[in-house]
Amino acid sequence: MYQPLYDNYSQPIAVFTSKGPTKSTDLAKLIIQAIVLVERAGATIHGVVSDGATTNRKFWSELRMSGKKDNLKNWFIHPSDEKRKVFAFSDICHLIKNVRNRMENKEVKLKVHPDDSFIDWSHFHTIYDLYKPKPQGKSMSKFNDEPLSSQLVLKNESLICSSDS
């Protein structure tokens, strides 16, 4: 799918079917080919976005990218222009879902930085309190005063992560 940075639409560019998961080598080839073809049509590709599924993480490895703290590299050389980079991004909704799932597992503690305290539900409540709707405000207007944890739920297998959902 192609989505411009400075416009409000998205355009499917291809659909593929497969029996079972697509191999990461095939996925890498498809993405490279899509970048080349979309650029030939006049677009400029700066990055790709994916969730954290195993095949997508292996796709990162196929193109010598890594999200590891000690080996961070979230780009690969552009297939049509060796002076440019194509950046890879993780889908924010899935990242938030992963944090939520880790927090629900009481045996696993999560830190953003080793020197910081552990993340807990109170951080989400603080954000909610800062941005909850004011009488005339629209910020986070779909949130209400139900327990916040009940609002951070899956909807159609994807986390509700915007007030427009």
Residue 67 has pLDDT above 90, yes or no: no
Q: Please, what is the Cα angle at 45 between 158 and 32, to 5 degrees?
A: 85
What pLDDT was estimated at residue 57?
Answer: 84
- What percentage of the chain exceeds 90 in pLDDT? 27
- Over residues 73-95, the pLDDT tens digits come to 999 999 999 999 999 998 887 87
Tell me the residue type at 158: S
- Quickly state the pLDDT bin for 118 (edges 50, 70, 90): confident
125 or 149: whose pLDDT is higher?
125
Q: What is the pLDDT of residues 36-61, one digit of tens each?
A: 999 999 999 999 998 878 888 888 88
Model confidence pTM above 0.75: no
Give the pLDDT score at 135: 58
Domain ranges of the chain: 24-90, 93-159
Compute CA 6 distance to the chain's CA centroid, rounded to the nearest angstrom. 18
Closest to 47 measured CA to CA, from 25, 23, 69, 63: 63
Sheet strands (E) in 6-84: 47-50, 75-77
- Calculate mean pLDDT across residues 106-119: 78
Higher pLDDT, 31 or 21: 31
